[in-house]
Amino acid sequence: MRKWQSISIAVTAAAIMLTSACGGSQDGAAPAGAAVSVAPSGAAATPGGAGAGTVVGGVANVAPSAAGKLSIWESAELGPVVTDSAGFTLYRFDKDTAQPSRSNCAGECATTWPPVLADDASAADGMDASLLGKVARADGTEQLTLAGWPLYRFAKDTQPRQSNGQGVGGTWFAAAPDGTKANADTASGSGYGADADAGQTEELPPLSTVDNADLGEIVRDGEGRTLYRFTKDTDWPMKSNCVDACLDKWKPAKPVDAGAVEGIDPKLLSTYTRPDDGTEQLALDCWPLYWFTGDQTPGDTNGQGVGGTWFAVKADGSLAK
């Protein structure tokens, strides 16, 4: 009898530990820093330019390759954007570092965001050639850098002069010729640019609650944006089912310092590692959180009830209805 009781207690304890971890493995997504095998440093580019390849289901089969002579694309939305010799947009990753240069995108991340190799790369006309450099990756290949930032292609850019990777995860941005983020003020499509900032003078905590006349107390981020839940996501195991085109309108919320939040129990906060690009997303009570690009000013709740699946959240993670 005692033996059976011991087993029962152990099983119960294990279940509690798994519950607190929000489901644990998250479909086996590899961490962003995992090692990755890429094409040899001297690999020839496929026809059509650096990194070009076949397209399957709207995703290019892209392998790391030499950039050739860079060019500058004058994007109507982003301004000047650096592209490779084939015209494909080059991106930088906020989780990388420029001083010193270091890439933190590997494993599955590097499949979605193939590193641009430094072989034969040269500056575009009008670009400061001294800004170009290279950094050694864990597998020994050398990745092209711009102003210290490692450069990447995006697998879902299937044609030249596309910028489908802009603002993905709140951490990926097209590179401007000086190495900064292209059109950084409005890059993520949030509508929270200079005009929106002018209407909000208070400095907000990274995560807090606000009283909404229709929904009651709801959660907002540090920019005053309403945060939402997607009812097609799951909390056990914790998983986001907002992918591909969904992410054009619903942006994953960034993790925050739990010690700086207000009105929310820090113990309910966790992070979800997205398997599509390796970025981390804020979760509340094990539910991934998002903000809506259709909310133009702080306090907007235009995403409420969209498709019958998107809802603002309360401080305990439940839906605000």
Kindly give the pairing relationship between strand 97-98 and strand 101-102: antiparallel
Q: Give the pLDDT confidence of 134-145 residue by residue, as tens digits.
A: 999 998 999 999
For the ranges 5-14, 21-30, 90-99, the lowest mean pLDDT is seen at 5-14
SS3 70: coil
Cα–Cα distances in Å, from 262 out to 55, 186, 204, 284, 287? 46, 27, 9, 13, 18
Q: Give the pLDDT confidence of 30-39 residue by residue, as tens digits.
A: 333 332 222 3
Could you give the CA distance from residue 311 to residue 227 in angstroms, rounded to a whole number?
8
Reported confidence tier of residue 63, pLDDT bands at 50, 70, 90: low
SS3 101: strand
DSSP string, 278-317: --EEEEETTEE-EEETT--STT--TTTTGGGTEEEB-TTS
In this prediction, residue 46 carries a pLDDT of: 34
Could you give the CA distance from residue 266 to residue 187 in angstroms, rounded to a whole number?
30
C-alpha R_g of the chain: 22
Which candidate, 212, 178, 244, places its Cα nearest to that of 314? Answer: 212
Average model confidence (pLDDT) for the chain? Answer: 79
Could you give the CA distance from residue 280 to residue 158 in angstroms, rounded to a whole number?
25
pLDDT of 188 higher than 60: no
Reported confidence tier of residue 149, pLDDT bands at 50, 70, 90: very high
Could you give the CA distance from residue 304 to residue 74 in angstroms, rounded to a whole number?
36
The predicted model scores a pTM of 0.47
Amino acid, res. 206: P
Which candidate, 304, 246, 311, places its Cα nearest to that of 274? Answer: 246
Cα–Cα distances in Å, from 86 out to 7, 69, 147, 311? 62, 9, 21, 42
